[in-house]
Amino acid sequence: MSSSELTSGAYIKHHLQNMTYGQHPDGSWGLAHSAAEAKEMGFMAIHVDTMFWSIVLGVLFLWLFRKVAKKAETGVPGGLQNFVEMIVEFIDTSVRGSFTGKNPLVAPMALTVFVWVFLMNFMDLLPVDWIPSTVGWLGATLFGADPSHIYFKVVPSTDPNATFGMALSVFALMLFYSIKNKGVGGFAGELTLMPFTSDNKLVMAILIPINFLLEFVSLIAKPLSLSLRLFGNMYAGEMIFILIAIMYSAGIGMGIFGGFLQLGWAIFHILIVTLQAFIFMTLTIVYMDMAHSEH
C-alpha cells in the first residue's frame, strides 16, 4: 500500500501494525482488521508476520551455514565459505574474550543470536512498501479483502514480542546455569548476601532484604535492557524510513530529496543493524559468563 492512498497518519499506523491472529470478542478466530480489533484479542494473539519472518530467517540461517559446512574444503575457500568462516572466527574470538567458563553451548548460541538478529534487522533495509503492498495486493486479489485492512510488518525486531522472546530465552538459560553451577543456596546467596555484608549477624539480617531488592532489580533489568535496546533502536530506524517514504507523495522535489535521505539513512543504518546484533550477542555471552562465575 503506497503512501498516496492514505493520509500520512494512517500510512504510518498501517505500517506499524502487525498482522494479528486471535480470538474475536464473539468467540470466532481470525485476523484483526484494525488496531482496535488486535487490541481486543488480548495477550494470546499471535503476530503472524513476526512469526513468519522469524522462522523463515532462522531456517535461512541454518540452511546456508549447513550448506557451507557440507561443502567446506581444506584448500582455498570460495567466497561464501570464506564469509561464513569469517563470521565463525569472529564469534569464536568474541566468546574467548568474554566467556571464562566452560560450556559448549555458548559459542553456537552466540553464533545463532548474532546471525539471526542481524537477518531480522537487515529486513529494515528493504523498501517499506514492497512486501506490504504485495501482501495487500494478494489479499485483495485472492480473497477480495480491503488492502487497508491487511497489515504485514517485515522487521521482526521492531516487534517487542520477538525481542522479549529472545531476551527471556537467554535469561532462562542464565538462571538455569546459575542454579546448576552454584546451587540453589549459592544463587540465593548472590541475591541476598551482596553487595552489603557484615560479620554481625543482626546487621546482616537487616542488610539481606536491602541486598535482595538491589540485586533483584539488577537481575530483572537484564532481560528488559536486552530486549528494549534492540526493539527501540530498530523501531526508531523503521519509523525514519516510513517518514522518508511519505516524502515521495509530496511532489517531485520532495521525492528526490527523500531519495537522497533514504540512501544516506540506509547506509548509516547498515551500521546500526550490525551493531545491534553485536550488542545482543555480546550481552548474551556476558550474562552466560556471569552464570558460570563464582562471587
Active-site positions read: 225, 229, 233
Cα–Cα dist 191/134, whole Å: 52
Cα–Cα dist 134/140, whole Å: 10
* Residue 94: C-alpha distances to residues 34, 87, 241 (Å): 44, 11, 32
| Number of other residues whose CB lies within 10 A of the CB of residue 36 | 8
8-12 own/partner pairs: CB under 8 Å, 24+ apart: 8/246, 10/148, 11/242, 11/245, 11/246, 12/239, 12/242, 12/243, 12/246
Cα–Cα dist 81/60, whole Å: 16
Instruction: Please check whether residue 73 is in contact with residue 84, taking contact to mean a CB–CB distance below 8 angstroms.
Output: no
State the residue for C-alpha cell 520532495. Answer: 254
Cα–Cα dist 9/243, whole Å: 10
